[in-house]
Amino acid sequence: MTQRKSRADRRVELIDAARRAMIQHGAEGVHLNQIAEEAGLTSGAVLYHYPDLRDLLIEAHHAGMERFYEQRVKKISGIADPAQKLITTIRSGLPEGPDDAGVRLLCELGGAAGRNRVYGTLLTTLYDRQVAMYQTILEIGAAQGVFKLAGDSEQIARNLVALEDAYGYRIIARHHSIGPDEAVSLILDFARMSTGHPLKEEPAARPKTTRTTRQRNGGSTPRPRDAS
């Protein structure tokens, strides 16, 4: 039998398994068995912990968002200069590439949010929190005289998050000419106009394997005929 775990531990594991399974098969296309397999358990065990699958899926999305947001906060926590803070924040809101797990999960929700209130709220809440994050950076920068805001800080912040989101989708969809770098550059163009600051990207340390976001996509069932 698979290593037995405490209720709490197992639930955490399941949430993570669900997250992985959803990324592979879609937020609405996942099957119980896929989650079970991802967790190394049988479907019965999953149901034992989550009699209603939907609860698990929601928790998984919630956890994914929380993780995504926390990572962003963490990345800018040490930075003092508002300009560098802004640049770093922009980068941290974009996927590293088409396979970035964190953003993939968020993108999955886009469509479902229109049909499912819970998902809509989840997404909306995340958006608002991100706006607040940017707004703080902008306000502090303005207070320090580093930024000369070309408008309301909330308006700018909303547009920044919106741009991030949209380019996230583009990158996930493998747009041929828009990758993380191009997206950063495009968003920075807007940020410069809005802050009146040159926002030079420090060519600084981008060490090889620091990020924790990336996920495996283990030799998983390729669907037949996806590309006609």
Minimum CB distance to a second copy smaller for 54 or for 74 = 54
Q: Which of 167, 179, 197, 199 binds a second copy (CB under 8 A)?
A: 167
CB of 63 to DNA, least distance (A): 18
Interface characters, 48-67, with DNA (x: CB under 7 A): xx-x-x--------------
- Quote the CA–CA distance of 23 and 102 in Å, as a whole number: 9
Compute φ and ψ for 151, nearest 5 degrees.
180, -175
CB of 126 to DNA, least distance (A): 26
Q: Which of 14, 15, 18, 27 binds a second copy (CB under 8 A)?
A: 27
The radius of gyration of the chain from alpha carbons, rounded to an integer in Å, stands at 19
Question: Among a second copy, DNA, none, what binds residue 211 when CB lies within 5 to 8 Å by partner kind?
Answer: none
Question: Among DNA, a second copy, none, what binds residue 33 when CB lies within 5 to 8 Å by partner kind?
Answer: DNA
Q: Which of 87, 172, 184, 199 binds a second copy (CB under 8 A)?
A: 172
Question: Among a second copy, DNA, none, what binds residue 10 when CB lies within 5 to 8 Å by partner kind?
Answer: DNA
Q: Which of 150, 181, 200, 216 binds a second copy (CB under 8 A)?
A: 150
Q: Which residues contact 195 (CB under 8 A, 6 or more apart)?
A: 83, 86, 138, 141, 146, 147, 148, 149, 150, 156
32 is an interface residue for DNA by CB under 7 A = yes
For 61, the token pair is 């999305």
For 204, the token pair is 């600084």
For 210, the token pair is 């620091």
H helical segments located in 26-116:
32-39, 43-49, 53-77, 82-92, 101-115
Per-residue burial over 57-88, b if 16 or more Cβ lie within 10 Å, else e, is: bbbbbebbbebbbeebeebbeeeeebbbbbbb
- Quote the CA–CA distance of 88 and 217 in Å, as a whole number: 27
Question: Among DNA, a second copy, none, what binds residue 142 when CB lies within 5 to 8 Å by partner kind?
Answer: none
Which residues in this chain contact a second copy in the complex, by CB under 8 A? 24-29, 52, 54-55, 58, 98, 104, 107-120, 123-124, 127, 150-151, 155, 158-159, 161-167, 169-170, 172-176, 178, 186-187, 189-190, 193-194, 223, 225-228
Which residues in this chain contact DNA in the complex, by CB under 7 A? 1-7, 10, 31-33, 40-45, 47-49, 51, 53
